Amino acid sequence: MKVHAYAAFEKGSELKPFEYDLSDPHANEVQIKIHYCGICHSDLHLLDGDWDNDNWPLVPGHEIVGEIVQVGDQVKRFTNGQIVGLGWQKDSCTMCNSCRVGKENLCSEMISTCVNGFGGFGEYINANERFVVPISQKENLEKIAPLLCGGVTVYNPLEYYNVRPYMHVGVVGLGGLGHMAVQFADRMGCEVTVFSSSPDKEKEALSLGADKFVAGNISEDYYDYFDFILVSATANLDWDMYLNLLQAEGKLCFVGAPSENISVDVFNLIPKQKMLCAGSIGSPLMIEQMMEFSRRQNIGAQVEVFDLKDVNEAIEKLRKNELRYRAVLKMRNDV
């Protein structure tokens, strides 16, 4: 089948219409007709070649919501017509210890939706059913698409590092990931403080569920205050300053990927046994759990919807930090 998509043909270039052949799904795969695809900053890192990727033509896109149109012979969980989602990962080795304990997101043979194949900025995609999640909602699917990568990426560390309702949580950067992190941490019962470089985001941060908003100088009241600070910013900031905001045994957790190496003074870690840590997307099961939590708590992305043909405009807004808060591409007119 011919798939119409948008691709970049070299590092830093604009996306242009691109056609390619897609096979029928393999035995364990489903074929998804894509309705919406979010634009994650990781797509922009790939387009800019920030991660030394060399996969041109590049069809980005890994926050996919759509409808199953074909299933492989051995597919057990899905049937045609079902609404499903697919995130950053579309396959793994399935045999390593991480895969066997259900942490497929930590598999060293991760197959990424838009690195090891053409991604979601197109009409159709095939994926291993193990990495596809059912979606029970029928409406507002554009608000759900960003949960598939951005959502689980911020939900996973809150779960994995055992963030509890009584804790003080900081979120650095109120972008696509950050604005979902605020909602999750707030609905989990935490006190949430946003650290932002954009003073105009204060009102929305508070309406998303933040208790406090800091843009600019950080008051000394916040020293020794936080249990967990989640970094979703793309910039390399003063991490020693953020370590000073943590209580003893607090964690500074990176999900955002600044392009340069980060640096900290080890003596900001040692005396109070503070921790630097990170999160990498989430397993398929965690995506399902996160979707269920989001459905019950009415969590979704605040989105700006663009037609696929306007993808370059959406990417420019992302680059300039002008989105509020996630761009989502609408792939077809009949949804």
Q: Which residues bind Zn ion (CB under 5 A)?
A: 40, 42, 149
CB nearer Zn ion, residue 40 or residue 86 = 40
The residue to which tokens 């990495």 are assigned: 131
Q: By CB under 6 A, is residue 246 in contact with ligand NAP?
A: no
Q: Which of 7, 34, 99, 318 binds ligand NAP (CB under 6 A)?
A: 318
CB nearer ligand NAP, residue 193 or residue 234 = 234
Out of ligand NAP, Zn ion, none, what residue 169 binds, judged by CB under 5 to 8 A for its kind, is none
Q: How far is the CB of 259 from Zn ion (least distance, A)?
A: 16
Which of the residues 96 through 155 are near ligand NAP (CB under 6 A)? 149-150, 153
Segment near ligand NAP (CB under 6 A); pick from 23-31, 77-85, 244-252, 276-284: 276-284
Segment near ligand NAP (CB under 6 A); pick from 182-190, 194-202, 238-246, 302-310: 194-202
CB nearer ligand NAP, residue 9 or residue 51 = 51
Round to whole Å and give the CA distance between 285 and 137.
Answer: 18
Q: By CB under 6 A, is residue 281 in contact with ligand NAP?
A: yes
Q: How far is the CB of 272 from ligand NAP (least distance, A)?
A: 25
The footprint of ligand NAP on this chain (CB under 6 A) covers a number of residues equal to 30
The 212-214 sheet, strands edge to edge: 212-214, 191-195, 168-172, 226-231, 246-254, 275-278
Out of ligand NAP, Zn ion, none, what residue 235 binds, judged by CB under 5 to 8 A for its kind, is ligand NAP
CB nearer ligand NAP, residue 137 or residue 280 = 280
Out of Zn ion, ligand NAP, none, what residue 255 binds, judged by CB under 5 to 8 A for its kind, is ligand NAP
Contact (Cβ atoms closer than 8 angstroms) between residue 8 and residue 54: no
Out of Zn ion, ligand NAP, none, what residue 128 binds, judged by CB under 5 to 8 A for its kind, is none
324: β partners: none
Out of Zn ion, ligand NAP, none, what residue 280 binds, judged by CB under 5 to 8 A for its kind, is ligand NAP
Q: How far is the CB of 230 from ligand NAP (least distance, A)?
A: 10
Q: How far is the CB of 82 from ligand NAP (least distance, A)?
A: 25
Secondary structure of the chain as H, E, C letters: CEEEEEEECCCCCCCEEEEEECCCCCCCEEEEEEEEEEECHHHHHHHCCCCCCCCCCECCCCCEEEEEEEECCCCCCCCCCCEEEECCEEECCCCCHHHHCCCHHHCCCCEECCCCCCCCCECEEEEEHHHEEECCCCCCHHHHHHHHCHHHHHHHHHHHCCCCCCCEEEEECCCHHHHHHHHHHHHCCCEEEEECCCHHHHHHHHHHCCCEEECCCCCHHHCCCEEEEEECCCCCCCHHHHHHHEEEEEEEEECCCCCCCCCCCHHHCCCCCCEEEECCCCCHHHHHHHHHHHHHHCCCCCEEEEEHHHHHHHHHHHHCCCCCCEEEEECCCCC
Q: How far is the CB of 271 from ligand NAP (least distance, A)?
A: 27
Segment near ligand NAP (CB under 6 A); pick from 77-85, 91-99, 114-122, 250-258: 250-258
Binding site for ligand NAP (CB under 6 A): 40-42, 45, 149-150, 153, 173-178, 196-198, 201, 232-235, 237, 255-257, 279-281, 318, 321
